Structure 1
Amino acid sequence: MQRTLLAEMAIKFCCFSQEPINDMDTWGESIENLLCSKSGQMAFQEFLKSEYSEENILFWLACEEYKKITSVPEMISMANQIYTEFVQTESPRQVNIDSGTRTKITNNISEPNLNSFDTAQKMIFSLMARDCYPRFLKSDIYQAIRQGKR
């Protein structure tokens, strides 16, 4: 990736973020700290996009929103959206989960509950924590954002 693009991304996160980027120093401590920050989510999403694995964070974020739902009709609607976009075989942003988990979700999608995606979300979180997050911390994107903060 070109340095100028990285500099532009750093400026975008530092200057145009919806929240202060003061918490950036905690991003390197844990993936939980990174994902608790809107700016951290944006930076991690940009990194995952550059690795063609943006579906991981998008799925994880969708599951977080799904767990906040309070009405059954909204739950059914959002469960179907998540299933169609991320879980269903050949879906546009299919996440990498095992076939047993995919089958269980498929079999229960007609009667979803707030825990319908928990196992899949934990798998994706584990994948991001184990695989993507360490690479993010070494990435040019993260380093450029850190440099921009100084």
Structure 2
Amino acid sequence: MIHKSVLCTVKKNPLKMIRLCCFPTDPLGDVETWSESVDKVLSCKAGQIAFREFLKSEYSEENILFWLACEEYKKIKTVPEMISSANRIYSEFVQTESPRQINIDCGTRENITNNISKPTLASFDTAQKHIYSLLARDCYPRFLKSDIYQGLLRRNDSR
């Protein structure tokens, strides 16, 4: 299996590049389907990378990073791993003044804070649903209009 390395230059800023590498097949084969729904973007590794780059350009990368961390968290099988991961997610994204603090209501933040000492696999569900809604309603439509996505579409069409 050959891994391809794809470098896409965004039209307006030639110095801004998205690196999509280490994929068994061309990662941009699905780029047109990303316009169908935010789920299509989030279910594809290349889509996640492109969406993350867009969010980074808007200074809101913490949203997709939190959402992805929650997806990984739900796959945890052991209690010690769950406790460790929950504390990492809390200190990175939820705790007030955390480095990548997400924008959630104070009730949700307080609920997570009060229960972080005994986390469950559902500990971050409310916050994750809120962030997903923000991504879907607010960020995703702008992503579809962005130079990043439009550049990837043009690159895909020119093949």
Q: TM-score, normalised by structure 2?
A: 0.87
User: What is the match of residue 68 of structure 1?
Assistant: 75
Distance 2:93 2:118 in 1: 18
CA RMSD of aligned residues (A): 1.3
Q: Which amino acid aligns with 2:109?
A: R
Q: If each structure's helix is expressed as a fraction of its own residues, which one has the higher value? A: 1
Aligned residue pairs, count: 145
Distance 1:111 1:70 in 2: 15
Distance 2:156 2:131 in 1: 30
Q: Which amino acid aligns with 1:79?
A: A
- Residue 98 (str. 1) matches residue 109 (str. 2): no
CA 27–43 in structure 1, closer or farther in 2 if over 3 Å, else same: same
Greater RCO structure (CA 8 Å; 6+ sep) = 1
Q: Which amino acid aligns with 2:64?
A: I
Q: After the TM superposition, which segments of 4 or more aligned residues of structure 1 sit over 6 Å from their partners? A: none
SS in structure 2 opposite 1:25? helix
Distance 1:17 1:34 in 2: 18
CA 17–50 in structure 1, closer or farther in 2 if over 3 Å, else same: farther
Question: How far is the alpha carbon of 1:107 from its aligned partner?
Answer: 0.1
Identity level (%): 66
5+ residue gaps in structure 2? 1-9
- Residue 127 (str. 1) matches residue 134 (str. 2): yes
Deviation track 1:56-110 (CA, whole Å, cap 9, x = no partner) reads: 0000000000000000000000000000000000000000000000000000000
Question: How far is the alpha carbon of 1:4 from its aligned partner?
Answer: 1.4
